A and B are shown apart, each in its own frame.
Chain A
């Protein structure tokens, strides 16, 4: 036997950092042996959740489950192993005229992670979560059995695994439907909103658009609270594109992405620099409304263009706080939350606001419920815990909850919404934290 390899491991927020065993295999028999021989296992994809969701005593990395299995080019159905990244899938499917039905704001997540978090995108109000297009997956459970799960086979496991944060086993492979596209471009309109009422109105007016998202400046106060830019988009048709893009509408030019070379020192990111950044961002757009055609990477994955952007938050790391507040009282709740943040002075770059549509009642472990969702990045510092407590209180008061893929310190009453996932074999640090604090 080779020695167990204990490694320093942390997810995208660089918080918390732990030393745990990481194992990675591509042979099923070896994976089964690993599961048989260890307790407290959690699967980990590309480590793009922010907190402790994919950390545990024994981490199974799916990085070697990285093979495509089949691609039905006629009907748009793709099957691949769970460690394949969405970025790798896009490389294959976009030139063939297909796109992912649902994608989050980064393409550097794995298919297994997309299922375990049941990810959502800018089109949740129109097209739902990732699971809406999931045909089937294979799951290695706590007994070492491989189960084929779909809406007709092992149905209970199918739904508990979706959004189940890896607590039901290791997803090995998955099969899902793809969306037809004519071009790799998005027809985008971006509209400035001076305050919260205006942006809420814009969301309501834009409900027929497939993709809607707003960037919001959360350091504004008083009448300016909620100053934001709404970006709405549709997949562009070929005839709509400028002439020079029509010849090769499914191919994007190669771009060189800069890399953040090191962890930024702590003093660099403070209220003032965030204020300046937000001001520049808001004023970059001169006109109230701008229409444009942009490539899908710029539209869906603006931050992916900067490699290792998480390093700008420094070595102590950051959290992403994402909550949803049900629609009825959502506007009021959002206002309270933004006021609290502005008062705290704990600024966040690029807070993202979105209106979720109705949820799929079958996917009971999925995070989204109909209402407003806000995602903010906060640097980890002494004041943070206090701010999170305050925000949690408001979210609770308004009947909301927290997205588990982002959570690392929220109140467990906002995060203990998973059902049918209890089992002693597959446990994450996050799950333990939530259960123990309950």
Chain B
């Protein structure tokens, strides 16, 4: 299994969920921007599951040397990279913040995903599970840079799924709503709409096993987004969302 974004609590919970369900992986390739933290998690997997892992540095903010990853292939990829950035007014007018959000969530990520997709295409088997976001379904004033990058990612995944269908590679798009993770700590999220990494892992694993194309984590988010998407633009533009 290949993991992009190995320090994400959702990635980690998903790996543990899969191993607890007795899935077998010869090696789990843990791609990370912070090797030291991921090494700890690798040790944890060794103690808990005697699982073999390899920790590989991948920083989406810098030039990527793909030849270094050429030896890696797997029929399962899980991607939970993401960067929320600052959705505030200062954040909007901070070029660096905007660039970083677009790079990590979309621009620099897509080539990496395509690289591994191509490998799966060659072996004519594989599943790619990629976390996008409900924020990508309609741009809202509070986080539309992030939202637009995730919208791009969602569109990419939809196209990739279509392209790969005949090539026997499956793509699963996950649209988490509010998550109780490090990324959102300190934000006043409604607990009824917020899922824990464990809940997310359960939902994602279930969607993966049942061959779903697009999945939300808490079912309520399907309804919320249906409403948000259907508000006429002349009303929507006046809302404080």
A24→B47 contact, CB < 8 A:
no
Known interface pairs A26-B37, A92-B48; A4-B43 also in contact (CB < 8 Å): no
Cβ-closest chain B residue relative to A92: B48
A68→B185 contact, CB < 8 A:
no
A3→B188 contact, CB < 8 A:
yes
B182→A64 contact, CB < 8 A:
yes
Contacts of A243 in B (CB 8 A): none
| Interface flags, A4-27, vs B, CB<8A=1, else 0 | 110000000000000000011111
Cβ-closest chain B residue relative to A84: B44
| Interface flags, B180-198, vs A, CB<8A=1, else 0 | 0010011110000000000
B186→A67 contact, CB < 8 A:
no
A27→B37 contact, CB < 8 A:
yes
A58 shortest CB reach to chain B, Å:
13
Known interface pairs A68-B48, A92-B48; A5-B186 also in contact (CB < 8 Å): yes
A174 shortest CB reach to chain B, Å:
14
A30 shortest CB reach to chain B, Å:
9
B40 within 8 A of partner (CB): yes
Cβ-closest chain A residue relative to B188: A5
A92→B47 contact, CB < 8 A:
yes
B41→A67 contact, CB < 8 A:
yes
Q: Chain A CB within 10 Å — which of B40, B44, B187, B188 has the most? A: B44
Chain A stretch 77-92: residues in CB contact (< 8 A) with chain B: 78, 80, 91-92
Count of B interface residues, CB-CB < 8 Å: 13
A295 vs B29: C-alpha distance when bound (angstroms): 37
Contacts of A288 in B (CB 8 A): none
A67→B44 contact, CB < 8 A:
yes
Contacts of A78 in B (CB 8 A): 47
Contacts of A5 in B (CB 8 A): 185-188
Contacts of B185 in A (CB 8 A): 2, 5, 23-24
B contact face: mostly helix, strand, loop, or mixed: helix
| Interface flags, B39-62, vs A, CB<8A=1, else 0 | 011011001100000000000000
Contacts of A68 in B (CB 8 A): 43-44, 47-48
A17 shortest CB reach to chain B, Å:
15
Contacts of B187 in A (CB 8 A): 2-3, 5
A69→B47 contact, CB < 8 A:
yes
Contacts of A64 in B (CB 8 A): 9, 182
A93 shortest CB reach to chain B, Å:
10
A370 vs B185: C-alpha distance when bound (angstroms): 45
Contacts of A2 in B (CB 8 A): 185-187
Contacts of A91 in B (CB 8 A): 48
A331 vs B187: C-alpha distance when bound (angstroms): 54
A3 vs B188: C-alpha distance when bound (angstroms): 9
A181 vs B11: C-alpha distance when bound (angstroms): 34
A71 within 8 A of partner (CB): yes
Chain A stretch 54-68: residues in CB contact (< 8 A) with chain B: 64, 67-68
| Interface flags, A367-401, vs B, CB<8A=1, else 0 | 00000000000000000000000000000000000
A263 vs B187: C-alpha distance when bound (angstroms): 28
A55 vs B44: C-alpha distance when bound (angstroms): 29
A92 vs B47: C-alpha distance when bound (angstroms): 8
Contacts of A67 in B (CB 8 A): 40-41, 43-44
A69→B182 contact, CB < 8 A:
no
Cβ-closest chain B residue relative to A21: B186
A83 shortest CB reach to chain B, Å:
12
Give 9 nearest A-B pairs by CB, closest first: A2-B186, A68-B47, A67-B44, A71-B47, A5-B186, A68-B44, A67-B40, A92-B48, A3-B186
Can you list 28 pairs linking A and B with CB atoms under 8 Å apart?
A2-B185, A3-B186, A3-B187, A3-B188, A5-B185, A5-B186, A5-B187, A23-B185, A24-B182, A25-B182, A26-B37, A27-B37, A64-B9, A64-B182, A67-B40, A67-B43, A67-B44, A68-B44, A68-B47, A68-B48, A69-B40, A69-B43, A69-B44, A70-B43, A70-B47, A71-B47, A91-B48, A92-B47
- Known contacts A4-B186, A26-B182, A64-B9; 7 additional CB pairs below 8 A are A2-B185, A2-B187, A3-B186, A24-B182, A67-B40, A67-B43, A92-B47
